[in-house]
Amino acid sequence: MNSLQDTTILDFYGGVDEIGGNKIQTSFKDNSIFLDFGMSFSRANKYFSEFLQPRKANGILDFIEFGLLPEIKGIYREDYLKHSGLHSTDKPAIDAVFISHAHMDHSSYVHHLREDIPIFLTEQSYLIMKTLETTTSVSFTDLITLKKDFHFITKKKGEGFKRLQGDMARVERDIKIMKPYKKYDVGEFTVFSAPVDHSLPGASGFIMENSNDALIYTGDLRFHGKRPELTRKFVKKAKKAHPTMMLSEGTRITEKTSITEEDIEKKATEIISNYDGLVVVNYPIRDMDRLLTFYEVACNVDRKLVVNLKQAYMLNLFYGKDYPKIDDVVVYTPRKGWGLLGEDSFACLGDEWTCAMEIDQYHIKTDYDKWERDFLDWDNTINYKDIKEEPQEYIFRCDFFELKELIDIKPEKGLYIRSVTEPFDDEMQIDYNKALNWLKHFNLELIEKGMHASGHANGTEILNMIRKINPDKLYPVHTINKEKFDVLRDEGIDVVYPKLSQ
């Protein structure tokens, strides 16, 4: 009989009876790793909102207070701990974190981890997290690097102190880029990254082994995306591992059908092909497959896809990696800061109000972040005037937070294709209702039925996948309908309901 020390122990700090928030600690003998370290949207939304956020000034304590982060010693960044009067350890208490993909509910709390914990992830996940870290202005996005907070350094002249900022505060995390199906040894664990299809690039399941168990972790996956062969290969490899334990997502375990990217392309093409007004589309900002779908739609109807600056930055990083090149799309430049863009804006030079078109470009660029300025002079950059003058030339990507651009564009009519998931909480429903008010105000027709392909497999596909892999024990995660997995009990699979470890 195996001793407790020779047993693989699973501790669940998220992903239990909820969609997302996966933080699963896997321990064997003296080694311990985390599978994902994401934010629980459902738990965070119970206490926080857009304008009520955890305080950086309180380090990790606001997160610990509401159970958003597990209370584990030896895993959190030293600056947050010491600033709050907490003890930090010399060495990390865990050996690694394996990130299945770069959605926030699987990766965003990496921000709080100490920089000497190795973070294993795919190259595509690295690029998306780099995009998020570079292009966002919100707090808690130290994903690829760690920027030391609460540090003072001596001034150059030696008189007094100044805050540590910029590149001097930046510390590189221990990032490990994983190759598909290459073996990675972490203490007692051997881990393989198994690419799967999901709603953003670089998603991966994991096949893990130690001397006692073989464990399969699906991450998030689907069979109806643009690369179903990746998920099918994962299933074959997972089956060959003869797993004793399997952690399977079950987001859509109650559903039986799926809309595909091809369905969206066909329907959108049919709708737009004979339309001569403005077409606006809202799709998830990091869903590169959806971007590719609407790029293909734009080509089909002889229009140009317009992306925002953040997507332009991401396309630049992904240049030549199965997605449109940055020069294949059009980049939209919004008015920011003083709004010194276009002939409708003025600024006072001395005693005279002067059209912004006549002001030195240097002053216009100061309205934009450094990473944004690279795109302002590109030949394929446009602004509201271009769309206003020739709306029939473009498919304009515009999410909820960009609806204000319609005030400048002032469309006479238009279509608004909503290619995102349905609202699933009160806050999302409130934003949805606000968006409807904007559409009504600007005479935009809402089109949403059949326009979103989920990043998750349906219930029939999930159950068939588990049957093929045939683990001894199954742990349903990332689901609010774990009881739907019970049908597998009659087929010899031990379905174990995970419980939160805090």
What CATH number does domain 4-255+455-495 carry, 3.40.190.10, 3.60.15.10, 3.30.565.10, 3.30.930.10?
A: 3.60.15.10
- Asked if pLDDT for residue 3 goes beyond 60, the answer is no
| Helix (H/G/I), strand (E/B), else coil: 470 | coil
Residue 1: what pLDDT?
A: 36
- Asked if pLDDT for residue 411 goes beyond 90, the answer is yes
Q: Say which residues have a Cβ less than 8 Å from residue 191's Cβ, sequence separation at least 6.
A: 33, 98, 120, 183, 184, 185, 206, 207, 208, 209
Strand order of the β-sheet with 96-98 is 9-12, 24-28, 31-35, 96-98, 119-122, 175-178
Range name among 139-143, 201-205, 457-461, 465-469 with the lowest pLDDT average: 139-143
Tell me which architecture the domain covering 261-333+375-447 has in CATH. Answer: 3-Layer(aba) Sandwich (3.40)
What pLDDT band is residue 5 in, cutting at 50, 70 and 90? Answer: low
For the chain, the first-to-last Cα distance in angstroms comes to 29
Rounded to whole angstroms, how far apart are CA atoms 88 and 86?
7
Residue labelled with tokens 């140009």? 304
- Asked if pLDDT for residue 19 goes beyond 50, the answer is yes
Residue labelled with tokens 């045939």? 470
As beta bridge partners, residue 222 has 197
Residue 2: what pLDDT?
A: 44
Domain boundaries, the chain: 4-255+455-495, 261-333+375-447
Rounded to whole angstroms, how far apart are CA atoms 431 and 277?
25
What pLDDT band is residue 323 in, cutting at 50, 70 and 90? Answer: very high
Q: What mean pLDDT is predicted for residues 341-368? A: 81
Mean pLDDT of the chain: 93
Q: Which two tokens stand for residue 310?
A: 């953040």
Rounded to whole angstroms, how far apart are CA atoms 213 and 245?
7
Rounded to whole angstroms, how far apart are CA atoms 104 and 20?
9
Q: What mean pLDDT is predicted for residues 43-54? A: 90
- Asked if pLDDT for residue 66 goes beyond 70, the answer is yes
Whether the Cβ atoms of residue 297 and residue 263 lie closer than 8 Å to each other:
no
The whole model's pTM is what? Answer: 0.94
| Helix (H/G/I), strand (E/B), else coil: 44 | helix
The per-residue pLDDT for range 204-242, each reduced to its tens digit, is 999 999 999 999 999 999 999 999 999 999 999 999 999
Rounded to whole angstroms, how far apart are CA atoms 419 and 282?
6
For 34, half-sphere exposure in the C-beta direction (CA atoms, 13 angstrom radius) is 28
Whether the Cβ atoms of residue 66 and residue 74 lie closer than 8 Å to each other:
no
| Helix (H/G/I), strand (E/B), else coil: 314 | helix
For 500, half-sphere exposure in the C-beta direction (CA atoms, 13 angstrom radius) is 17
The per-residue pLDDT for range 423-451, each reduced to its tens digit, is 877 788 899 999 999 999 999 999 999 99
- Asked if pLDDT for residue 190 goes beyond 90, the answer is yes
Q: Which two tokens stand for residue 342?
A: 């276009």
Nearest to 418 by CA among 283, 307, 305, 289: 283
The per-residue pLDDT for range 110-153, each reduced to its tens digit, is 999 999 999 999 999 999 999 999 999 888 999 999 999 999 89
Q: Which helix (H) or strand (E) holds 132?
A: helix 123-135
The per-residue pLDDT for range 485-502, each reduced to its tens digit, is 999 999 999 999 999 996
- Asked if pLDDT for residue 397 goes beyond 50, the answer is yes
Q: What mean pLDDT is predicted for residues 329-349? A: 85
Q: How far is CA 1 from the centre of its chain?
A: 43
- Asked if pLDDT for residue 60 goes beyond 60, the answer is yes
- Asked if pLDDT for residue 57 goes beyond 60, the answer is yes
Q: What mean pLDDT is predicted for residues 271-284? A: 95
More confident residue, 502 or 266: 266
Return the DSSP state at 18. B
What pLDDT band is residue 101 in, cutting at 50, 70 and 90? Answer: very high
- Asked if pLDDT for residue 253 goes beyond 60, the answer is yes
Looking at 66-121, list the stretches that DSSP marks H as alpha helix, in order from N- to C-terminal side: 78-83, 104-107
Residue 477: what pLDDT?
A: 98
- DSSP secondary structure, 397-428, as one string: E--GGGTTHHHHH--SSEEEEE-SPPP-SHHH
As beta bridge partners, residue 494 has 473
Residue 166: what pLDDT?
A: 87
Whether the Cβ atoms of residue 168 and residue 8 lie closer than 8 Å to each other:
no
Rounded to whole angstroms, how far apart are CA atoms 82 and 86?
5
- Asked if pLDDT for residue 475 goes beyond 80, the answer is yes
Whether the Cβ atoms of residue 306 and residue 331 lie closer than 8 Å to each other:
yes
